[in-house]
Structure 1
Amino acid sequence: MDAYRGFVMTLMAAELLSFHRLHEAFPDSSFWAFLAHHQDHVPWAGCSLHDLIQPSFSFLVGVALPYSVASQTAHGQPATAQFWRALRRSLILIVLGIFLRSTHAEQTYFTFEDTLTQIGLGYPFLFLLGKTRPQTTWIAFGLILVAYWLAFVLYPVPVTFDYSQVGVPANWPEQYSGLMAHFNKNSNLAWAFDRWFLNLFPRETPFLFNGGGYATLSFIPTLGTMLLGLQAGRWLRSDLTHSALIKRLLIAGAIGLAGGMLLQVAGICPIVKRIWTPAWVLFSGGWCFWLLTFFYSVIDVSGHRKWAFPLVVVGMNSIAIYCLVHLIDRFIIASLYTHLGHGPFLIFGPAYEQLLIGAVTLVIFYAILRWMYRRKLFIRI
């Protein structure tokens, strides 16, 4: 679990490598085109490796919950105290998410679509459902997906609408018609909610739309992703044999992938991360099950642990690396240029400058996390 978490946090930090710069410099290279594609989010529907970072992090929050609850119970904490702790964690995640998004703003930037705030908004409900029977959790999961889909479908599609006013280019190929039109960018239920909700907070200018189409209401289906992780965590803590557990995780992943693709192909619901559609919950959840299976099989079952040690170092301090990347990446890069100049990073030519300075910055981040690991300094919320 720590290695899987470290893997996704490393993917997040690896944005510093700026593969898109190399793709721009070498447009005919399929190698750089492939890496650039998987280091960025898809424009709307579909999925890249980078798109799996947030669902994986959310999924792993669910996986960890049964272990956390069992530990607290073993230490004699009553259920009420555990729930208040969950509420506190929720509040800290929300506040931290807003703080990190506001670091380069003129005033507090109230936004609730980033990873930390989305998890924070859903975490108390995850905790409560974690106290129920698995059957109840599955029922809740199904109700969340159906209710979220139905709410979008019942929100009317605008008949006449100037999409250029909400950041959508004319003749954008990602626009849908028919039933799927209810999930179009910045003309859907979640966008309408944010037009009301986000303007309740003080802002430099009124909120009109999110450039990426991300939305606050995504925390509801994100809870569905966390519930999938919760079920996986329960299976991991059960008395299932290794082979039976791997089989169950693989089947769950296959069902999720097939279900998500079927919903899109049938024209019922597109696979869109930015508004966390039900099809995305199933599709990304399927990948999360399979990624967990890979790390479990290789590390826990086969015993191949040494290769994953750097990932464990990162994964055991996931909040730390999340904050480091958001707070001091620019400071480190500026300091490297101040003290070393551009020369060392131009050794392979200007096209590779961002790749090299990004790699050095990642090494510095890892050195900080390795120092914390050695001294058993782990940031927990």
Structure 2
Amino acid sequence: MLLMMAEVLRLHKVSEALPDSSFWQFLAYHQDHVEWVGCALHDLIQPSFSFLVGVVLPYSIASRLTNESSFWKTFRHALWRSLILILLGIFLRSQWADHTNFTFEDTLTQIGLGYPFLFLLGFASHRIQLVALIVILVGYWAAFALYPLPSPDFDYANAGAIKDWEHNLTGFAAHWNKNTNLAWAFDRWFLNLFPREKPFLFNGGGYATLSFIPTLGTMLLGLIAGNFLKSTKTPQEKIRIFLILGVSGLILGLLLNWSGICPNVKRIWTPTWVIFSGGWCFLFLAFFYWAVDVLQKRNWFFFLTVIGMNSIAAYVIADGFNSYVSKSLRTHLGQNYAAIFGDPYQSLVHGFLMLAIDWLILKWMYDKKLFIRI
């Protein structure tokens, strides 16, 4: 959530103003999504969020059943939670639009679409959870692999794709190219079932509704991690398991991408991306579990705790409130106030103040024990 909120720093603008600085180029690269294949730090935001949904599910189920809630009552709550996430995602994507923008590829809607299935699998045995994960990954891979490649007369412009784009893949991996794949074809049908200003032809970034299926795979990895966390294993055993799964995920993901069997693409959430990003999530979890639960260094992470305890509020503030904050800062401090350290750093100064205001709002909510939960 901090990485998402920190988008207001606009590090790419600093990098553009200082083109000879490899330092700012490095930071700017990791504050943006890669064009297609690969991974930057920013690409790990959504899988981390999805992974943690799975991690907390065993605790959520145990808490609700302890409070004498029946299975069906708990399941109805899961469906309600799912619907709210989907509607909230659509609401945030419809800001400043003339009509409701029915789109289902953002973080909240993707989690909402997969959450009921995750909830049901939370009651299944560990073996069934693992089998479900394998079926999702292999089945989704096969569906893309069997979808035909573009014909010689394919209209790339009408699909928002470029025939000779430098990021296009060749050979078997071409089944996962931007806006010529199965998920794009599905959205050309599905999204046009909803009222629209004009027919849906393509998503400019290549994102797709069907990505919620492999995103469910990411949440299942989190569920597996949550089961280990909740188990009676020693902290050392848990950390060792997380490290093994993390490193294994990175290696397997790199091999699948390198071999051309399945490219590592976050934008369409390929099975390789589930495995690779899941590896990073296990490593992050191992570090924070070691630092917070084993070493008991909770005070080190208070800044992050304030954000994490109100993750939905943080998401909404970052996605829907910052334009107002930005305009207000310039209104009251002057249009050029952020040039105090020089023109190249204006976006950094302006963004830092916005980020500070966002955090102080969350800190006030934390102090008042105002936690938005769905």
**TM-score normalised by the chain length of structure 1:** 0.97
CA deviation vs aligned residue, 1:158-184 (integer Å, no higher than 9, x gap): 122232333334521211122111100
SS in 2 for 1:60: helix
- Matching of residue 49 in structure 1 with residue 53 in structure 2: no
Could you say which residue in structure 1 is the equivalent of 2:189?
A: 196
Q: What is the identity, as a one-letter code, of the residue corresponding to 1:144?
A: I
Aligned AA (1:352): Y
Question: Deviation per CA, 1:179-237, whole angstroms, max 9, x where unpaired?
Answer: 11110000000000000000111111111100000000000000000000001001001
- Report whether the alignment pairs 1:183 with 2:176: yes
Question: Which whole-Å deviations, capped at 9, do the CAs of 1:94-135 have from their partners, x for residues lacking one?
Answer: 000000000111100000000000000000000000100000
Aligned counterparts of 2:319 and 2:117: Cα–Cα separation in 1: 27
In 1, Cα distance between equivalents of 2:192 and 2:110: 18
Residues 50-199 of structure 1: pairs in structure 2 closer than 5 A: 50-160=42-152, 161-199=154-192
Separation in 2, partners of 1:207, 1:51: 25
Distance 1:355 1:82 in 2: 45
In the other structure, the counterpart of 2:289 is: 296
Aligned counterparts, 1:275-286, within 5 A: 275-286=268-279
Residue 161 of structure 2 contacts residue 180 of structure 2 at CA under 8 Å; is this kept in 1?
A: no
CA 1:202–1:302: 2 relative to 1, 3 Å: same
- CA distances 1:58-83 after superposition (whole Å, capped 9, x unpaired): 00000010010010011111111111
Q: How does 1:202-281 map to 2 (within 5 A)?
A: 202-281=195-274
TM-score by length of structure 2 reads 0.98
Quick one: percent identity of the two aligned structures? 61
The gaps in structure 2 that reach 5 residues or longer are none
Shift of 1:242: 1.0
Secondary structure, counterpart of 1:372 in structure 2: helix
**C-alpha distance in structure 2 between counterparts of 1:198 and 1:204, whole Å:** 12
User: Is there any run of 5+ residues in structure 1 with no aligned partner, and where?
Assistant: 1-8
Corresponding letter in the other structure for 1:157: L
Give the counterpart letter for 1:188 in structure 2.
Answer: N
Once residues 8 and 200 of structure 2 are traced to their aligned partners in structure 1, the CA distance between those partners, rounded to angstroms, is 29
Distance 1:344 1:42 in 2: 32
- Alignment partners' CA distance in 1, 2:335 and 2:289: 42
Q: Which runs of 4+ in 1 moved over 3 A?
A: none
1:352 aligns with 2:361: no
- How many residue pairs match? The answer is 373
Shift of 1:316: 0.4
Question: How many Å separate the matches in 2 of 1:62 and 1:254?
Answer: 20
Q: Does 1:370 find its partner at 2:363?
A: yes
Whole-angstrom CA distance in 1 between matches of 2:19 and 2:221: 39
Q: CA deviation at 1:344?
A: 2.9
Distance 1:16 1:164 in 2: 32
Residue 319 of structure 1 pairs with residue 309 of structure 2: no
After TM superposition, give the deviation of residue 343 of structure 1 in Å.
4.0
| Partner AA of 1:314 in structure 2 | I
State the alpha-carbon separation in 2 of the partners of residues 226 and 13 from structure 1: 22
In structure 1, distance between residues paired with 2:100 and 2:290: 44
Secondary structure, counterpart of 1:293 in structure 2:
helix
Match for 1:294: what amino acid?
F
CA contact (8 A) 2:250 2:275 kept: yes
Match of 1:14 in 2: 6
Moved more, 157-166 or 88-97: 157-166
